[in-house]
């Protein structure tokens, strides 16, 4: 009986592009060891070479050539048997190509199939961000931090083979562990990687996610006009300038909020976000002046509030802020909404500052990390720690 199986890898471009390619290539070659046919390929979003933009790689495996050709006839698989998310901050959704808006990471997963996430968090925490759906599925976690292995500046931390071992456990119809080990021995020539794949296979387990379980947020989407509804000729819609807005407590108008394109939201690219201490802000304007995406609103108080739908998390604001801990970049996985920080500060300053203190404590020291448009992931000296995490499970 003809069989067609598909795996999608959701990754952060450009940094995880090679890692995703190596995993899909490994899937196809492991399947070849069981006499199956396959192909791997990449598919990007609207801006594939911008740092942080979500991208996808696919592997399609079939039992015969005709079935494989039928699967290849689609631009990308509409349904997949396994989805792998290489950075857990992507669990908040991925922006697809052609202005479809934000899509849940589990949107293409067949009912009952498995979503695999690289993360140090547990399933209940991840489900605060993974959007609910009407069909059940399974959620499994491969313990680790977001990996850039495959880039020439980063050491190999075995994420590729750990994922292959996990897939063998989650989808045995695709290939077994023996086929993965044969691929590693013949192509990668590493007995240590064989051990990593086997360990991942043995340790992996998945939890059942019931219909309706997960993040209830309604993702933004667009109604694309048909050809008969489009404006004539080539035109660019003008953008209003913006203006003052209301204080949430006094209701008085003040400050300045730029008008922003409702079709262009950048937060799906963000792996870290700025948190602002409005009590220590000196109103120096540097964050506002240096933000490359005009993401800061001038509040009626004269401080600066990051608009978290426009912010891409580059971290320039933290770098230029002259006041210690006034702006700190914190991992996006610590947050579950894009609400205004200034509004929360105005409602209850004491509660906001207490929450801010706890949040900043979770932020890594700046000398141990970089973010956004520079790098994020494992430096050479961090790899032993990553391997220790993998060994401990």
Q: In total, how many domains does the chain have?
A: 2
Residues 130, 276 within the same domain: no
Same domain, 18 and 154: yes
Do the domain assignments include residue 386? no
| Average pLDDT estimate for 200-221 | 93
Is residue 288 scored above 80 in pLDDT? yes
Assigned domain for 236 exists = no
Query: Residue 379: pLDDT above 50?
Result: no
The answer to whether residues 51 and 136 belong to one domain is yes
| Same domain, yes or no: 68 and 126 | yes
Higher pLDDT, 267 or 139: 139
Helix axes 191-203, 159-170, angle to 10 degrees: 40
Q: Is the backbone of residue 186 left (phi > 0), alpha (psi -120 to 50) or beta? A: alpha
Radius of gyration of the CA atoms of the chain, in A:
23
Q: How far apart are CA 126 and CA 124, in angstroms?
A: 6
Tally Cβ neighbours within 10 Å of residue 274.
26
Residue percentage of the chain with pLDDT more than 70: 87
Mean pLDDT of 365-380: 41
pLDDT digits (tens, 9 = 90+) for 323-372: 998 999 998 888 989 999 999 999 999 999 999 988 888 765 544 444 33
Candidates 56, 77, 57; CA nearest to 67 is 77
- Tell me if the bond preceding 14 is cis, omega within 30° of 0: yes
Residues 155, 39, single domain; the answer is yes
Mean pLDDT across the stretch 18-31?
95
What's the average model confidence in pLDDT over 25-33? 97
Give the whole-angstrom CA distance, residue 166 versus residue 170: 6
Note whether residue 284 is domain-resident. yes
pLDDT of 82 strictly over 60? yes
Which domain CATH number covers 57?
A: 3.40.920.10
Q: Are residues 94 and 22 in the same domain?
A: yes
What is the residue range of 91's domain?
Answer: 4-209
Helix, strand, coil % (nearest 5) of the chain? 30, 20, 45
In terms of domains, do 179 and 101 share one?
A: yes
What local confidence, expressed as pLDDT, does residue 153 receive?
A: 62
Give 231 or 293, the one with higher predicted confidence.
293
Distance in angstroms (rounded) separating the CA atoms of residues 300 and 17 = 43
d(CA 138, CA 214): 12
Q: Does residue 232 lie in a domain region?
A: no
Question: Does 43 score more than 80 pLDDT?
Answer: no
pLDDT at 369: 44
Average pLDDT of the chain to the nearest whole number: 86
Pick the more confident residue, 151 or 339: 339
Distance CA 137, CA 182 (A): 30
Q: Is residue 373 predicted with pLDDT exceeding 60? A: no
- The secondary structure of residue 184, as a DSSP letter, is I
Do the domain assignments include residue 252? Answer: yes
The pLDDT tens digits of the residues spanning 237-253 come to: 677 889 999 999 899 99
Task: Give the per-residue pLDDT at 377.
Answer: 38
Q: Is residue 292 part of a domain?
A: yes
Please compute the mean of the pLDDT values over residues 293-309 and round it to a whole number: 94
Q: Are residues 160 and 48 in the same domain?
A: yes
Whether the predicted pLDDT of 46 surpasses 70: no
Residues 58, 192, single domain; the answer is: yes
Tell me: pLDDT of 48 over 60.
no
Rounded mean pLDDT of 146-166? Answer: 84
Percent of the chain with pLDDT over 90: 60
Two tokens at 178?
């023996």
pLDDT of the residue at 380: 44
186 and 278, same structural domain? no
Q: Give me the helices (H) in the chain, please.
A: 17-32, 65-72, 123-127, 159-170, 177-183, 191-203, 286-290, 316-320, 341-347, 349-362, 383-392
Residue 388 lies in a domain: no
Examine the domain organization and report whether 148 and 283 are in the same domain. Answer: no
**Which residues face 10 on adjacent strands?**
56, 85
| pLDDT for res 389 | 59
Residues 194 and 251 occupy one common structural domain: no
Residue 60 CA to residue 80 CA, distance in Å, equals: 9
Q: Is a pLDDT exceeding 80 seen at residue 96?
A: no
Residue 151 per-residue DSSP state: B
User: For residue 360, how many C-alpha atoms fall within 13 Å in the half-sphere facing its CB?
Assistant: 15
Residue 386 has pLDDT above 70, yes or no: no
Residue 275 or residue 230, greater confidence: 275
pLDDT of residue 284: 95
- Whether residue 373 lies inside any domain: the answer is no
β-pair type (253-258, 4-12): unpaired
pLDDT score of 391: 63
Q: What is the CATH number of the domain that holds 292?
A: 3.30.70.20
């Amino acid at each position: 009986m003809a069989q067609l199986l598909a795996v999608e890898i959701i990754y952060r471009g450009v940094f995880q592009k090679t890692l995703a390619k190596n995993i899909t290539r490994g899937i196809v070659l492991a399947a070849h060891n069981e006499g199956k046919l396959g192909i791997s390929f990449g598919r990007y979003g609207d801006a594939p070479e911008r740092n942080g933009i979500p991208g996808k790689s696919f592997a399609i495996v079939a039992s015969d050539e005709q079935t494989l050709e039928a699967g290849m006839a689609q631009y990308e698989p509409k349904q997949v048997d396994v989805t792998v998310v290489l950075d857990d901050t992507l669990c908040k959704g991925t922006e697809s190509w052609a202005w479809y808006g934000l899509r849940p990471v589990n949107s293409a997963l067949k009912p009952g199939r498995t979503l695999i996430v690289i993360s140090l968090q547990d399933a209940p925490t991840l489900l605060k961000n993974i959007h609910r759906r009407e069909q059940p599925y399974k959620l499994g976690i491969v313990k680790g931090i977001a990996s850039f292995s495959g880039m020439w500046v980063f050491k190999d931390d075995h994420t590729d083979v750990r994922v292959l071992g996990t897939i063998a456990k989650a989808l045995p119809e695709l290939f077994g562990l023996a086929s993965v080990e044969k691929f590693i021995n013949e192509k990668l020539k590493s007995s240590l990687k064989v051990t990593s794949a086997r360990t991942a296979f043995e340790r992996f387990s998945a939890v059942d996610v019931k219909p309706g379980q997960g993040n209830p947020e309604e993702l933004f989407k667009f109604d694309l006009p048909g050809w008969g509804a489009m404006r004539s000729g080539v035109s660019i819609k003008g953008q209003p300038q913006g203006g003052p807005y209301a204080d949430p407590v006094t209701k008085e108008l003040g400050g300045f909020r730029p008008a922003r394109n409702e079709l262009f939201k950048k937060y799906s690219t963000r792996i870290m976000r700025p948190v602002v201490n409005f009590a220590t802000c000196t109103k120096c304007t540097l964050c506002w002046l240096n933000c490359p995406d005009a993401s800061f609103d001038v509040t009626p108080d004269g401080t600066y509030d990051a608009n978290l739908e426009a912010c891409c998390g580059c971290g320039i604001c933290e770098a230029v802020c002259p006041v210690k801990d006034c702006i700190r970049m914190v991992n996006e996985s610590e947050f579950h909404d894009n609400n205004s920080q200034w509004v929360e500060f105005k409602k209850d300053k004491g509660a906001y500052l207490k929450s801010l203190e706890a949040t900043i404590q979770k932020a890594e020291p700046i000398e141990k990390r970089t973010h956004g448009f520079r790098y994020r992931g494992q430096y050479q000296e961090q790899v032993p720690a990553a391997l220790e995490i993998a060994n401990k499970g």
